[in-house]
Amino acid sequence: MSYCNRAVVRQRRAHCQQGNDVLEITKIAGALGAEIHGVDLSRPLSAPTAAEIRAALLEHLVVFFRAQNLTVAEFLAFARAMGEPTEYPFVKGLPGFPEVIEVAKLEQERVNFGGIWHTDTAYLERPPMGSMLLAREVPPAGGDTLFANQVLAYEALSPGLRRMLEGAVAVNSSAKADVTRTREDRMRTDAREDARDEYVAEHPVARTHPETGRRSLYVNAAHTVRFKDMTEAESAPLLNYLFQHQVRPEFTCRFQWQVGSLAFWDNRCTLHNPVNDYHGYRRVMHRITLAGDRPR
């Protein structure tokens, strides 16, 4: 079945034996995103269940779980069943769990961590294959996260523009002003001593997914500063067009958090954006990223 055909399927049930558990996988939007029910992530996953969750990730690009009140160790165990957890380059992990960082916006803060459309750490030579967030505290309303499907975004470009982007390389930096500002509160209290001032990496503008073979846009407003061998001023008109195009509403889904909600997204072909609409309230998450390969 083609990717486009799968995208219109309204609901899919996957049966995978884990004791008496049966997974139910239900799409939440036309473009991407599915909720998975029928699994307790605090328990060790059987190999078939882990494989079914990974297959759902590849099909839906982001999957969500509800009521998963995990300890930090249980959260890390689930991440290890999905891939190889890695440490975030700027912020220290939790005590005893360096791969797990706290993503928080406190009552007095006005700027949220990562509050811009982005893919995680595109400024690394090997960006993460996936990221996970587990909700610990949520505001009474607001604080949702938006996700955008970059396979659809690439496929919606005109044939001429796709030809123009073929072979193009983007320069990505951790020091781009907008995303640096969203880190400031966490860096004051939780900065790693070994963090560099700047990380820079060059990646293809259109990358090929190593598992599905699908092509997707791989630029983002938070980290991409210019095209290779071009100035920022020369790059800006086309990059700004791509930044607006890749988050068109028909490419997106929106997730409303509850305490114990867990999101797991494919960082190779999605963007995400935490909505900053809950001033005066706390929002605290735990995050894990999984090691990836060099984009091609």
pLDDT digits (tens, 9 = 90+) for 111-132: 998 899 999 999 999 999 999 9
Number of structural domains the chain divides into: 1
Catalytic residue among 118, 214, 223, 268: 118
Kindly provide the residue ranges of all beta strands, DSSP E only, lying in the chain, ordered along the sequence: 11-13, 24-27, 34-37, 62-65, 85-86, 101-105, 130-137, 145-149, 169-173, 200-204, 206-208, 215-217, 224-227, 252-255, 262-266, 270-274, 283-290
Confidence of residue 87 (pLDDT cuts 50, 70, 90): very high
Annotated active-site residue 215? The verdict is no
pLDDT of residue 188: 54
CB 99 within 8 A of CB 86: yes
Annotated active-site residue 6? The verdict is no
Question: Does 83 fall in a domain?
Answer: yes
Question: Does 295 fall in a domain?
Answer: no
- Please state the rounded mean pLDDT for residues 81-108: 94
110 or 136: which carries more pLDDT confidence?
136
Kindly report, residue by residue over 37-82, the tens digit of the pLDDT. 999 999 999 999 999 999 999 999 999 999 999 999 999 999 999 9
Catalytic residue among 203, 272, 283, 286: 272
Kindly report, residue by residue over 6-29, the tens digit of the pLDDT. 333 334 444 444 344 589 999 999
Catalytic residue among 54, 268, 286, 287: 287
CB 253 within 8 A of CB 60: no
- Spatial neighbors of 18 by CB under 8 A, at least 6 apart, are 39, 43, 45, 46, 48, 49
Kindly report, residue by residue over 173-188, the tens digit of the pLDDT. 999 856 655 445 544 5
Question: Does 296 fall in a domain?
Answer: no
pLDDT of residue 13: 44
Q: What is the rounded distance in angstroms from the CA atom of residue 98 to the CA atom of residue 91?
A: 9
Annotated active-site residue 118? The verdict is yes
pTM value > 0.85: yes
Closest CA to 261 of 175, 133, 170, 164: 133
Catalytic residue among 120, 185, 207, 283: 120
Question: Does 82 fall in a domain?
Answer: yes
Q: Residue 251 is part of a domain; what is its CATH number?
A: 3.60.130.10
Does the pLDDT at position 287 exceed 80?
yes
Annotated active-site residue 223? The verdict is no
Residue 221: domain span: 3-290
Q: Of all residues in the chain, what percent carry a pLDDT higher than 90?
A: 82
- Please state the rounded mean pLDDT for residues 227-241: 98
